[in-house]
Amino acid sequence: MDAPTLPSKCPGYNIYVDGFQALRQPQVLQASNITHVVSVIDWKFKPGWAPLRGVQHLHIPLDDVYDSNILEHFPRSNAFIHEGLNYWPTKSSEGLDQSGVLVHCAMGVSRSATIVLAYLMWISRQPRSIQHPEKNSNPVPSSATEESNDSTPEMISLPPTPLTVDSALALLREGRPHVEPNSGFIKQLRMYEAMNCPTTQEQLESHKIYRRWINSRNVMDALSSNRAPEMANITFRDEEDESDDESNSNINDQMSGLGLSSKDAEITDPDISTSSSPNEAASPAPEVELKCRKCRRLIARSNFIIPHKPPPHRDPSVDGSMEPCAHVFLHPLSWMRDTLAQGELDGRLSCPNLKCGANIGKFAWQGLRCSCGGWVTPGFGIARSKVDEARSFKRGSGSRLGGAPAAGNAVRLPPGMRRSSGNGNL
Ligand SMILES: [Zn+2]
Ligand SMILES: [Zn+2]
């Protein structure tokens, strides 16, 4: 009788997901042709430990918690799994041998599933050629003739379209119904998808979405210990690489939709994490410019404004909430650098025009409450009474932001799509 094989196989791939106990069943591993094992678990593996003898092993020590950075391991785990699946590029004379990859964590639910989902998403975006590096130069004619009669000559099949997080999860659940990455891992998978699944570590870590997320994590780390963030961890939105300018607003949309903007306060004190979701709030008109009321210096374009809304429990029929908000909240901008470099947790914001220097607002890393009751964290609030709202009807009007050379990244909409707002209030 054949030995039992591992129960949870991802359909279409020789990838198995399981808990730690799978390692304790050597005959099952053998019967499943496991040649490669990925251990996503913070566990001290002894060198030469019997269950791992004879297999290639990748160890990713990681806890199954919301804010573990599992994303940074995807390039390495993808390469390892890919190598594992193509380990024996041709079948043996018996036509049975195929390599297999076991990805396990403790229970085979969250961590291991996340690693496999990342692989499924990544491989579905690769040109077919890289899946079978040996195929075109296969020097073994007998194998080739065998394969011509075989309906399943390929070890892995290419899905017709790139997998999303949801479609990859649906596929994996066909093989293991109870896989359930934790919410932080799902978020990171969605980020990976939004980045179009970078292959190399360098591509990942240089990506704008990843850098912004890492900065945001570092900022939150500092705040949770009541420190102002390091300058190196502050993303000044007007200084981000503009080479992919046309996708900038797109990325902003993606980040907002994922709750990944720098105001993502989910890992901080719950008291300051009540800021509303930006994608639910009404966006201000896209081509608005805020200018210092005193000297007319440009303070911010509307794509640097963080939308917010009152907390949901407020009844709009009471307390005169028809009043417009007293503040406009901004992402950190380069003209704030000198102020923020002083390392204070909060303080005043002055007009970037040094000759003017008007007090135009305030900032607080731990968050500011608007007059409407909504929190924005971190808060960079400009008092509406100190600025004028100017509309730029021409594209690339040439006005510059706080003297910075980066112009032209305002959200562009055709004239018919401009929002009108009655009296100049945002
Ligand atoms: Zn001014
Ligand atoms: Zn408000």
Q: How far is the CA of 369 from the centre of ligand 2 (A)?
A: 8
- pLDDT band of residue 95 (cuts 50, 70, 90) is low
154 or 386: whose pLDDT is higher? 386
* The predicted structure's pLDDT at residue 87: 77
CA dihedral angle for residue 274, residue 280, residue 282, residue 285, rounded to 10 degrees = 110
Work out the average pLDDT over 313-332: 74
* The predicted structure's pLDDT at residue 261: 44
Work out the average pLDDT over 311-321: 61
In this predicted structure, the answer to whether residue 321 has a pLDDT above a threshold of 80 is: no
Q: How far is the CA of 402 from the centre of ligand 1 (A)?
A: 10
Q: Which of 103-117, 132-146, 399-413 has the highest mean pLDDT?
A: 103-117
Q: How far is the CA of 407 from the centre of ligand 1 (A)?
A: 19
* The predicted structure's pLDDT at residue 119: 98
- Ligand nearest to the Cα of 376, by number: 2
Q: How far is the CA of 279 from the centre of ligand 2 (A)?
A: 15
- pLDDT band of residue 153 (cuts 50, 70, 90) is very low
- Burial label for 399, CB within 10 Å (0-12, 13-18, 19+), is middle
Q: How far is the CA of 325 from the centre of ligand 1 (A)?
A: 21
- Ligand nearest to the Cα of 387, by number: 1
3-state secondary structure 373-425: CCEECCEEEEEHHHEEEEECCCCCCCCCECCECCCCCCCCCCHHHCCCCCCCC
pLDDT digits over 209-240, tens only?
Answer: 999 999 999 999 999 899 999 999 999 999 88
356 belongs to the catalytic site: no
Work out the average pLDDT over 191-199: 97
In this predicted structure, the answer to whether residue 272 has a pLDDT above a threshold of 60 is: no
**CA–CA separation, 247 vs 53, rounded Å?**
48
- Ligand nearest to the Cα of 381, by number: 2
What residues have their beta carbon closer than 5 A to ion ligand 2?
Answer: 325, 370, 372, 374
Q: How far is the CA of 380 from the centre of ligand 1 (A)?
A: 17
What's the start-to-end Cα distance of the chain, in Å? 74
pLDDT digits over 58-68, tens only?
Answer: 999 999 999 99
DSSP 183-205: HHHHHHHHHHHHTT--SSHHHHH
* The predicted structure's pLDDT at residue 424: 34
* The predicted structure's pLDDT at residue 97: 62
- Ligand nearest to the Cα of 425, by number: 2
Q: 5-19, 123-137, 348-362, 412-426: which has the minimum mean pLDDT?
A: 412-426
pLDDT digits over 277-308, tens only?
Answer: 344 344 444 578 999 999 999 999 989 999 99
pTM of the model: 0.71
* The predicted structure's pLDDT at residue 240: 80
Q: Which of 10, 105, 197, 372 is catalytic?
A: 105
Cis bond upstream, residue 311 (ω within 30): no
DSSP 79-101: HHHHHHHTSS-S--TTS----EE
Q: Coil, helix or strand for 131?
A: helix
What domains does the chain contain, in order, with CATH numbers? 15-203 (3.90.190.10), 208-392 (no CATH)
